[in-house]
Amino acid sequence: MKLTIERAALQKALAHVQSVVERRTTIPILSNVLVEARGDVLSLAATDMDIAILEKVPAEIGAPGETTLPAHTLYDIVRKLPEGAQIELEGEGEGKRLELKAGRSKFTLSSLPTEEFPVLDDGELPHSFSLPASDLRALIERTRFAMSTEETRYYLNGIYLHAAESDGIKVLRIVATDGHRLAQVEMPQPEGAADIPGVIVPRKAVAELHKLIEDSDETVAISLSDTRIRFAFDHVVLTSKLVDGTFPDYQRVIPEGNDKIMEVDCAAFAEAVDRVSTISTEKSRAVKVEIDKGRLTLTASSPEHGTATEELEVKYDSDPIEIGFNSRYLLDITQQIEGGTVRIDLADASAPTIVRDIADNSALYVLMPMRV
Amino acid sequence: MTIRVLPETLINQIAAGEVVERPAAALKELVENSIDAGATQIDITLRDGGRDLIAVADDGCGMEPDEMALAVVRHATSKLPDSDLFNISTLGFRGEALPSMGAVGRLSITSRAQGADEAWQIVVEGGHKGAAIPAALNKGTRIELKDLFFATPARLKFLKTARTEINHAVDVVNRLAMAHPGISFTLTADSRSPLRYDSTQGELLDARLARLAQVMGREFADNAVAIEAEREGYVLSGYVGLPTLNRGNAQMQFLFVNGRPVRDRLLLGAVRGAYQDFLARDRHPLIALFLAAPPREVDVNVHPAKTEVRFRDAGLVRGLIVGAIRHGLAGAGHRAATTVSDAALGAMHPASGGPALPYSRGGGGGGSRGLSEEVLRFQAPLSGAFGSGGMPLPGLDAPPMAAVPIYDADEEVLAAPLGAARGQLHETYIVAQTEDGIVIVDQHAAHERLVYERMKEALAGEGVKRQVLLIPEVIEMDEAACGRLLAQADDLAELGLVIDSFGPGSVAVREVPALLGETDIGGLVRDLADEIAEIGEALGLKERLEEVCGTMACHGSVRAGRRLTREEMNALLRQMEATPHSGQCNHGRPTYVELKLADIEKLFGRR
């Protein structure tokens, strides 16, 4: 195998691929990236047995061939090479050492045989549809904060992607929850998505996907079965197993009769919450929200540091209400709201509260109060 | 097959299976009889671990010959005068012990009733009772049990080595001796050096402490806090060790109910609960607690060996114990065990390889091991500093100190229990001078405990904040576990965990303590259910919350390696004096060591 490639191109591809590779693993081959040179394309592949990624970059191929190389080491080397360097890779063949040269630097890397590299069986992916990357990004960005990190509730460790109907319009919807709050974002259903099964995309896949499409404006082709999902775009293919579990019936916990409606300037509200919560203790970060006609009062107190109060003008004319929230959860949600005004629908101090962007109906957040 | 009534001998042998399980069990019955007979002196002799001979002689009230003949008949006793099983004021009451022993060994009873002119003897061998014959004895009763289990060879085979059996016997005598400080005990067994507890007179509490010191060691007596509490007829007294005095197992925990040594899960659980916040899970305090309960409130007829008891109101007893111990420990304030300083002094003896104190050799005083090394570490640089004349001691030369003259013997501060800060060594240990010694404080451990105590106070003050769950977590368990959990739902709610019933065999968690963040609720609730089953209280939740506080306290406190000004050091010492439980960290390790001047003088051969 022999090839030459520009540093920037290789680094970008490697950055994507190596981030799937776990730092510590008991199976040595999983630390490696599969490097394959054919025609004028260099393909890089990596997997952790749950997620597999394949990225192709154009390169000048002298002699075709394939090998596997330690992913993190290779990435670190490439990253540290000077900008604009031409990188030369040369190896005698499979399972042998491989030489990497750039300018005056020379590295000899040990490789593992390519047969050991696991091939994840894609199986049949009967459903497919495509989305602009920007739309997919918006869906993910506004829901991923609510994913659970608690391993025992594995079925919440991801985002729930499914087809639904909202006010008679068919939509593609993503829901995430950690049991304390819930985020639900939807978009008009793309063609081919009507019959998809509801699937839970695991947290790590969501994170990797988000990294990949961060600055892409292409179209993402999504194919899925009820055990696997594949995202294909640019020159990258990301395949992930799905979480084998049942997502809870989230619609039951979204309240409908919340009749105390408050509207407030989102930025001002977020800033005030942030300021007031400075005083509350490190871990629970409770803020108390008192709402009366046209006025909202935020208070936080800590026996150690004292108390904080801030008043805001709001649009509200129901009965006064007093309710507590975890300030971090409030801030997480207000960060997702791009419009100027946030609308909060309340019922009472122990009932779920709905937060949404007044100018945007596609997203809805449910937040459970805290008893203070 | 026809059904028939078993012969008396066989019945007694069966009963013996439960009552006379091993020589120590027989000994227990005999000594209890002596105590019930009002003896003031009990002498015990064992041969071959009690296999050849168990002899108990007392100076109690004795028996008439016709009583003796009756005493060896099953279910004959003098101890239930009004035939009321719920009004038991003696140790024995079942009337089983003597006939059982007679059924499995060669029993001889010699007794002279109080005021009688002669003594009589009666012999029972393998269940066959002989006639009473005149004998010689000055006073009381002497019972000899020879060739134990000769009639039940299978049981004989199950006996352990003589040494093991003697250890069990000593344990039995120790427990009874602790409960009855007014009685002298001697125990002679084979080659073992004889055990001797002289009767101690005076106030019950003082007498008891003296006896406890004899049995549990001087160390315990020096580091114990007296407990006295009363609630609804239950009277609890006794001594509990400071948390810094702890052991790797619970063997040094002695509980007595109405003078009867018991091992009861409920009571041991209550002790664990009381110490929960001062000791790591695998360390156990030393305690000796005596509970006097109204006879009608307690059922001792649970097990033939009577080591288990049942209370009519278990919650009350538990609350009494936990409350009394906590109160006692709070009163002890910042005291740390003197064992710690003993160990430190032991470590400081001239390094010629002199005999180390037992504490520094593992085993016993768990809390003190690391410390002796710390003290050694602190020793070395001192000599280095003098040798080279270089290395400034932070406490002496560092700029923050310069402003304050070192020996401005500030009498007021010196008189405080933890004295006046004189300097900081290795930017980790504060050295303070008191009126009659020096105190070395681990600044991080001490400050951590202070911060922790403050946080706990805040937690108790403003209550635990609860995060309401969007989707209630349904946890499936067996019905009994659910029932136990739900019975404690109110207590759990106070700690931030709100649960309710979700059909048979499952509970729904509606709210969780916000402090725990996102946590494995299912695991937590299951652990709590197990804990309630085991010790009757869900300590786990409180422990989890305190663990979070502990971690926060650790991050929020002065680290080792930070240089403190004299003002800061003195402030820390004053806060320690004012804060309860500041003498140990959350795991029972001491936060400071006090060395008395007298001990230091001994080190230098001045005394």
Q: Please give the structure tokens belonging to residue A15.
A: 């950055």
Q: A114: helix, coil or strand?
A: helix
Asked if B520 has any chain A CB less than 8 Å from its own CB, the reply is yes
CATH of segment(s) A260-367: 3.10.150.10
Amino acid present at A94: E
* Cα–Cα distance measured from residue B276 to residue B269, given in angstroms and rounded to the nearest whole number: 10
The answer to whether residue A215 scores a pLDDT higher than 60 is: yes
Alpha-carbon distance of B216 to B446, in angstroms, equals 29
Q: State the pairing for strand pair B287-292/B253-257.
A: parallel
Q: Of B532, B484, B486, whose CA–CA distance to B509 is shortest?
A: B486
Helices of type H across chain A: 7-18, 71-80, 133-141, 203-212, 266-277, 327-336
pLDDT tens per residue, range B314-326? 888 888 888 888 8
Interface check B522 vs A, CB under 8 A:
yes
Identify the band that residue B339 occupies on the pLDDT scale cut at 50, 70 and 90.
low
pLDDT confidence of residue B490: 85
Placement of tokens 């790797």 in the chain: B248
DSSP, res A111 = -
The ipTM estimated for the assembled molecules is 0.74
* AA letter at B178: M
Minimal Cα–Cα distance from A208 to chain B, Å?
Answer: 23
Count of Cβ atoms closer than 10 Å to residue A51 Cβ: 21
Q: Do A370 and B461 touch (CB under 8 A)?
A: no
For residue B445, give how far its alpha carbon lies from the nearest alpha carbon of chain A (Å): 20
A contact test, residue of B462, B465, B473 with most A CBs within 10 A:
B465
B467 to A368: CB separation less than 8 angstroms, yes or no: yes
- Pick from A171, A228, A182, A183: which is nearest to A205 by CA? A228
- Listed range (B145-149, B341-345, B505-509) with the worst mean pLDDT: B341-345
Is B206 an 8 Å CB contact of chain A?
A: no
Residue of B nearest to A149 (CA): B518
User: Which residues in chain A touch residue B518, judged by CB atoms under 8 angstroms apart?
Assistant: 148-150, 178-180
* Phi, psi of B73, deg, nearest 5: -95, 140
CB of A328 less than 8 A from some CB of B: no
Of B461, B465, B519, the CB nearest to A370: B465
Best mutation target among B467, B516, B557 (most A Cβ atoms within 10 Å) is B467
**H-helix segments, B349-488:** 369-388, 394-397, 399-402, 411-415, 443-462, 479-487
- Cβ of A306 under 8 Å from any chain B Cβ? no
DSSP result, B248-274? SSGGGEEEEETTEEE--HHHHHHHHHH
Residues 6+ apart with CB under 8 A from B455: B549, B552, B553
Cα torsion A347, A352, A357, A360: sign: negative
What topology does CATH give the domain A2-116? Answer: DNA Polymerase III; Chain A, domain 2 (3.10.150)
Helix/strand/coil percent split, chain A, to 5: 20, 45, 35
Q: Which two tokens stand for residue A93?
A: 């063949």
Q: Is B325 helix (H, G, I), strand (E, B) or coil?
A: helix
CB atoms within 10 A of CB B339: 26
Question: B15 versus A361: which is more confidently predicted?
Answer: A361
Residues of B in contact with A281 (CB under 8 A): 458
| pLDDT computed for residue B312 by the predictor | 83
3-state secondary structure B187-248: EEECCEEEEEECCCCCCHHHHHHHHHHHHHCHHHHHCEEEEEEEECCEEEEEEEECCCCEEC
Q: Which residues of B touch A352 (CB under 8 A)?
A: 468, 470
Closest CA to B96 of B309, B297, B303: B303
Buried residues in B86-105 as b, exposed as e (16+ CB within 10 A): eebebbbbbbbbbbbbbbbb
Question: Is a pLDDT exceeding 80 seen at residue B354?
Answer: no
* CB spacing of B470 vs A181 below 8 angstroms: yes
pLDDT class of A273 with cuts at 50, 70, 90: very high
Q: Are the C-beta atoms of A300 and A352 separated by less than 8 Å?
A: no
DSSP assignment of B320-343 equals HHHHHHHHHHHHHTT---HHHHHH
Distances (CA, A) of B323 to A288, A320, B287: 35, 43, 15
- Look at residues A20, A42, A41, A40 and name the one whose alpha carbon lies nearest to residue A32: A20
Q: Is the pLDDT assigned to residue B456 strictly greater than 70?
A: yes
**Residue B334 has what pLDDT?**
64
Q: Which residue has better confidence, B262 or A5?
A: A5
Which of these, B365, B419, B421, lies nearest to B590 by C-alpha position?
B365
Which tokens sit at B280? 């790591």
Nearest-neighbour CA in chain B from A246: distance (Å): 14
A·B CB contacts under 8 A:
71
State how far the Cα of B469 lies from the Cα of A367, in Å rounded to an integer. Answer: 9
Q: Compute the mean pLDDT over every residue in chain B, rounded to the nearest whole number.
A: 78
Tokens representing residue A147 in the block:
């994913």
State the CB neighbour count (10 A cutoff) for residue B256: 21
In angstroms, rounded to a whole number, what is the distance separating the alpha carbons of residues B11 and B8?
Answer: 5
Quote the percentage of chain B above a pLDDT of 90. Answer: 4
Torsion of CA B472, B477, B482, B485, to 10 degrees: -70
> A127-252 architecture in CATH?
Roll (3.10)
Please report the pLDDT score of residue A171 as a whole number: 93
**Contact with chain A for residue B379, Cβ under 8 A:** no
Confirm or reject contact between A140 and chain B (CB < 8 A).
Answer: no
* More confidently predicted of A80 and A215: A80
Q: CB–CB of A39/A28 below 8 Å?
A: no
**Cβ neighbourhood burial of A141 (10 Å; 0-12, 13-18, 19+):** middle
Q: What pTM was computed for the model?
A: 0.65
Mean pLDDT over residues B517-521, rounded? 81
User: For A371, which of B468, B470, B523 is closest by C-beta distance?
Assistant: B468
Q: Is the model's pLDDT at B467 over the cut of 60? A: yes
H or E segment at A60? Answer: strand A60-63
| Cα–Cα nearest to B140, from B25, B259, B43, B72 | B43
Q: A44 in helix, strand or coil?
A: strand
Condensed to tens digits (0 to 9), the pLDDT of residues B261-284 reads: 888 777 888 888 888 778 877 788
- With contacts defined as CB-CB under 8 Å, which chain A residues touch B465? 284, 286, 324, 370-372
Helices (H) and strands (E) in chain B, counts: 22, 25
Residue closest to B306 by CA, chosen among B364, B354, B263: B263
Give the tens place of pLDDT for each residue, A6-28.
Answer: 999 999 999 999 999 988 888 88
Chain A: give the shortest CA distance to residue B255, in Å: 40
Give the integer Cα–Cα distance in Å for A265 and A343. Answer: 9
- CB of B461 less than 8 A from some CB of A: yes
CA nearest to A251 within chain B? B471
- How many residues appear in chain A? 372
| Dihedrals phi, psi of B106, to nearest 5 degrees | -105, 110
| Strand (E) or helix (H) holding A205 | helix A203-212
Burial A122-133 (b: 16+ CB within 10 A, else e): eeeeebebbbbb
The distance in angstroms from the start CA to the end CA of chain A is 66
The alpha-carbon gap from B150 to the nearest alpha carbon of chain A, in Å, equals 60
Which range, B180-184, B243-247, B344-348, B589-593, has the best average confidence (pLDDT)? Answer: B180-184
Nearest-neighbour CA in chain A from B444: distance (Å): 20
**Chain length of chain B:** 607
Please list the residue range(s) of chain A that carry CATH number 3.10.150.10. 2-116, 127-252, 260-367
Structure tokens given for A222: 């999504």
pLDDT per position as a tens digit, A98-116: 899 998 999 999 888 888 8
pLDDT value at B357 more than 70: no
Query: Is A150–B520 a contact, with Cβ atoms under 8 angstroms apart?
Result: yes
- The answer to which of A125-139, B180-194, B540-554, B591-605 has the lowest mean pLDDT is B540-554
State the pLDDT confidence band at B365, using cuts at 50, 70 and 90.
Answer: very low
Measured distance CA(B138)–CA(A90) in Å, rounded: 108
Question: Which helix (H) or strand (E) element contains residue B603?
Answer: helix B597-603
The phi and psi torsions of B23 (rounded to 5 degrees) equal: -50, -40
| pLDDT reading at B347 higher than 60 | yes
- pLDDT one-digit tens code per residue, A216-229: 888 999 999 989 99
